[in-house]
Each structure stands twice: as C-alpha cells, then as structure tokens.
Amino acid sequence: ETGVTQSPTHLIKTRGQQVTLRCSSQSGHNTVSWYQQALGQGPQFIFQYYREEENGRGNFPPRFSGLQFPNYSSELNVNALELDDSALYLCASSLGTRAYEQYFGPGTRLTVT
Amino acid sequence: AQSVTQLGSHVSVSEGALVLLRCNYSSSVPPYLFWYVQYPNQGLQLLLKYTSAATLVKGINGFEAEFKKSETSFHLTKPSAHMSDAAEYFCAVIRRDPGGGNKLTFGTGTQLKVEL
C-alpha cells in the first residue's frame, strides 16, 4: 500500500506566474483535500475533491483551483502568484468525504519571489 | 463554528519528563478531535483521534489525550519525553459542512523542544 505522494518537493516561482502542484492519493482513497501551511502557522483548508468534483472550499480566492482525475490523483493550480502564497502545500487523502482520518503527504514547499 | 486553541506556541521539557501540550476546543456539537505531529520538512502524521468513544485516547509513540467536556479540553500527554519527540504538534477538529465532507481545522501549533 503506497502512501500519499506529492510533487515537486520544492518550487520557486516569481510573482504573477502560475504553478501546478500534484498529489497522488493513498491506494483506495477517493477523496483529496488540500491545505496551505504558512510559516509558523497551522494548515488552512483550501478545498476538497471527491469523484472529480469540488466538495467544499475554504476562504481562498478563485485563483486557487483544482482538479481530480479518475484515478483520484489531484492537482492544485494557483494563478497570478503573490508573495503571500509562499507556503507548504499539503495534500491529504481519505476514504470518503466523511472519513475521520486523513493521510497527509510530505508537502510541496512553494517560494514566491 | 468549530475551532481549537493551542496554549503555548513553544514548550520545552527535559528528556524523561512529562510532556503536556494543551488544546481547548470550541464546538456547538460533540467534536471529533485529533492530534497531529509534524517533523521538520515533513507532512503531518496522525498521533491519535477522539471520535466520541472512550474519553481517554491512546495513540502512537506513547502519547495519549483525554477528552474533558467540562473543560472543553483535549490535552496531549506523554509520561516520559524522548529526544525523538521534538517536533511541532497540531490539535485539530473536524468541521463538517452541510452537504459536504469533513474538513480539518487546525490550531496554530506547539513546538516541542526536548533537552538533555
């Protein structure tokens, strides 16, 4: 059984650019949630995907968007990057939207300069 | 709205001493509570969870937490700290949106330092 994987590990972008982060869910998990963790803060919920549809969204602007694919993997896209988007982006997978346990990947560290 | 508050952003203990990390919750309904640990440059690992069964919950690595409704608390403890326990610890509560799924709401974290 493979765990949650994320790519890339680190990324440096310039303000105004666009970025795509990727997540492969744990084997058998059909729900993916994305979180943003700014330095020194707890993770903040961005959105959740279930069966390729967005299933709830946190307080993030529309320039944060996502996709989920038939194999349950997911992408997080951020357009028009701002300096405050610099953070660790965490992906978590679970079995169903009402599962209590979410399994986290190692994260992608995004730096916006 | 459900939320958690972690008291103390930094806690320092001696190796072998008791670890106590504090978490208080705010919830209008019975909460589902979690403790996660994050080692440097890594993702989050679930330590333990409370889902309205036993109020004393045992987790991995010798950690446990007690749900106290009267105090709205869910403090994390370990009888004897080990150097390998040095990490950041997050308390979290499940928020269930109407018609939606479960989303975790995290506290701001407590950095645990273990000294010789």
A80-106 residue pLDDT tens: 999 999 999 999 999 877 777 899 999
| pLDDT of amino acid B98 | 64
Residue with tokens 């010798």: B62
B97 in reach of chain A (CB within 8 A)? yes
**A100/B49 Cβ within 8 A:** yes
| B100 interaction partners in chain A (CB closer than 8 Å) | 48, 55-56, 97
B18 contact A CB<8A: no
Q: Cα separation of A109 and B8, whole Å?
A: 26
| pLDDT of amino acid B97 | 65
Of B42, B92, B103, the CB nearest to A33: B103
* Shortest CA gap A105–chain B (Å): 6
What's the pLDDT at B73? 95
Which amino acid belongs to residue B76? L
Nearest partner of A94 among A53, A24, A33, judged by Cα: A33
State the Cα–Cα distance between residues A105 and A59, nearest whole angstrom. 22
Residues of chain B falling short of pLDDT 50: none
Mutate to test the interface with B, among A45, A100, A101 (most CBs of B within 10 A): A100
Interface test with B, best of A104, A109, A110 (most B CBs within 10 A): A104
Angle at A69 between CA A50 and CA A31, to 5 degrees: 25
Q: What is the CB neighbour count within 10 angstroms for residue B38?
A: 22
pLDDT tens, residue by residue, A28-87: 899 999 999 999 899 999 999 999 999 888 999 999 999 999 999 999 999 999 999 999
Listed by number, the residues of chain A in 73-92 with a beta carbon closer than 8 Å to a beta carbon of chain B are 90, 92
pLDDT value for A80:
98
Please give the C-alpha separations between residue B26 and each of B22, B95, B97, B105, in angstroms, as whole numbers.
14, 11, 16, 11
Within an 8 Å CB–CB cutoff, is residue B52 touching chain A? no
